[in-house]
């Protein structure tokens, strides 16, 4: 269902509210959910890992050291940054330029690509989930990029010119990089290098471009609510504004320092289950600010809907986290049910709020 329409016949878009002094009430979060750390107070705790030498076939001294750093980061945070990853800086900058041009188009032009139910990709406002009590301060565009049979090119805009070919190239390079990283994680679990990609069956990829317009009251709202990504691994590219935050305990948030051309890599729920919880699924969110818009590109690498979810390796003394193998579709259904329960609980726990 499309969001409620306003007088202009289009729903409210945060990109069109640049001159407003206050935010609408449906963007205001409860006090305990509001940002605790600013978008530009950066923390150095998240490991930054150079992938230079990862593919060396010389006995692998460099590979071994890189793998060790990745495994430590996945165990501690489920999140790290990679540099020297081999994806061309020009490609990343072309992608950001074209994404920015898209979000600068008129509301009518963007709304032509509105992603209603059943559509394979397109433009949305706030969230892909229905029935959210509070809105996120963001607009986004999502491409269903892999498997290539899933591509519905009628959902790939011709404007801005050249975007289609850049997204094709970007998604291909991201797929290659993700598979390399999954190779590292598979080996760390003591299984063959291809084990995680094989477990995904026919790997699915979605490229999601987030646009967080500048916001008059950034302390009252969020660009993107706290969540873990559902899939195996996510490669996130961000501009230099800052706003991505991560937490280990669900309470203390840190802002990830933007690094030019780096990818922030985080594990999702599928990656966590396949490692039997040894690797964390990073809980993260995005905060906004009053000075400038921000953009990020999240490339989600997911298993096929009918891929089997079950730990690839269970270490001595541990029990499998799942009672029985389930499909990824079932895993996602349970996640959604859990999230809905949490929301219901929050609603009843605060009966005077969010009416
Ligand atoms: O929009 C997103 C972001 C992300 C996500 C956000 C909020 C949640 O509650 C959540 O479970 C995930 O991951 C996504 C994954 C998708 O397949 C589509 C999306 O639009 C998103
Ligand atoms: O914009 C960001 O930094 C986070 C985006 C994100 O987490 C997502 O799209 O799933
Ligand atoms: Fe995310």
Domains of the chain: 17-347 (2.60.120.330)
Probe ligand 2: pick from 296, 299, 335, max atoms within 8 Å of CB? Answer: 296
Token pair recorded at residue 45: 């705790």
Phi and psi at 132, nearest 5°, equal -75, 135
pLDDT digits (tens, 9 = 90+) for 182-222: 999 999 999 999 999 999 999 999 999 999 999 999 999 99
Q: When comparing pLDDT for 342 and 265, which is higher?
A: 265
Q: Which ligand is nearest to the CA of 237?
A: 2
Q: Which residues contact 155 (CB under 8 A, 6 or more apart)?
A: 113, 115, 119, 120, 121, 122, 143, 144
Residue 26 has pLDDT above 90, yes or no: yes
Q: Which of 13-22, 219-228, 312-321 has the lowest mean pLDDT?
A: 13-22
pLDDT digits (tens, 9 = 90+) for 134-173: 999 999 999 999 999 999 999 999 999 999 999 999 999 9
Q: Taking a C-beta distance cutoff of 8 angstroms, is the pair 50, 259 a contact?
A: no
CA of 43 to the centre of ligand 1 (A): 24
Q: What is the mean pLDDT of the chain?
A: 94
CA of 228 to the centre of ligand 1 (A): 8
E-only strand ranges, the chain: 42-43, 48-50, 79-83, 121-125, 139-146, 204-212, 224-227, 233-238, 244-247, 253-256, 263-267, 283-286, 294-302, 308-309, 326-327
Probe ligand 2: pick from 247, 298, 302, max atoms within 8 Å of CB? Answer: 298
Residue of minimum CA distance from atom 1 in ligand 2: 296
296 lines ligand 2 (CB under 6 A): yes
Provide the percentage of residues in the chain whose pLDDT is more than 90.
Answer: 88
Q: Taking a C-beta distance cutoff of 8 angstroms, is the pair 165, 94 a contact?
A: no
Which pTM value belongs to this model? 0.95
Residue 87 has pLDDT above 90, yes or no: yes
Q: Which residues pair with 297 in a beta bridge?
A: 209, 237
Probe ligand 1: pick from 141, 230, 346, max atoms within 8 Å of CB? Answer: 230
Token pair recorded at residue 183: 């190779």
Q: What is the pLDDT of residue 61?
A: 86
Q: What is the pLDDT of residue 27?
A: 97
């Amino acid at each position: 269902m499309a969001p409620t329409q306003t007088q202009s016949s289009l729903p409210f878009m945060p990109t069109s509210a640049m001159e407003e002094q206050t935010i609408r009430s449906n963007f205001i979060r409860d006090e305990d959910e509001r940002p605790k750390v600013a978008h530009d107070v950066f923390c150095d705790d998240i490991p930054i890992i150079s992938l230079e030498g990862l593919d060396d076939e010389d006995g692998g001294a460099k590979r071994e050291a890189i793998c060790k750093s990745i495994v430590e980061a996945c165990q501690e945070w489920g999140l790290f940054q990679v540099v020297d990853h081999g994806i061309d800086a020009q490609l990343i900058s072309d992608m950001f330029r074209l994404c920015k041009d898209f979000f600068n188009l008129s509301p009518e032009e963007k709304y032509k690509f509105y992603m209603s139910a059943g559509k394979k990709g397109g433009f949305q406002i706030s969230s892909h989930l229905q029935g959210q009590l509070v809105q996120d301060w963001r607009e986004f565009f999502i491409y269903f990029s892999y498997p290539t049979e899933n591509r519905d090119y009628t959902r790939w805009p011709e404007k801005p010119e050249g975007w289609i070919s850049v997204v094709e190239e970007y998604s291909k390079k991201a797929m290659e990089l993700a598979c390399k990283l999954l190779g590292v994680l598979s080996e760390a679990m003591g299984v063959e290098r291809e084990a995680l990609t094989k477990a995904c069956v026919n790997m699915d990829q979605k490229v999601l471009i987030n646009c967080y317009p500048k916001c008059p009251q950034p302390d009252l709202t969020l660009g993107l609510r706290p969540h873990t990504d559902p899939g195996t691994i996510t490669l996130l590219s961000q501009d230099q504004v800052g706003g991505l935050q991560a937490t280990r305990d669900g309470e203390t948030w840190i802002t990830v320092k933007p690094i030019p051309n780096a990818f922030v890599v985080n594990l999702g729920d599928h990656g966590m289950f396949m490692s039997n919880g040894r690797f964390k699924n990073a809980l993260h969110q995005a905060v906004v600010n009053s000075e400038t818009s921000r953009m990020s590109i999240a490339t989600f690498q997911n298993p096929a809907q009918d891929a089997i979810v079950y730990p690839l390796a269970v270490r001595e003394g541990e029990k499998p986290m799942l009672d029985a193998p389930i499909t990824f579709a079932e895993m996602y259904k349970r996640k959604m049910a859990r999230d809905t329960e949490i929301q219901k609980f929050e609603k009843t726990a605060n009966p005077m709020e969010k009416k």
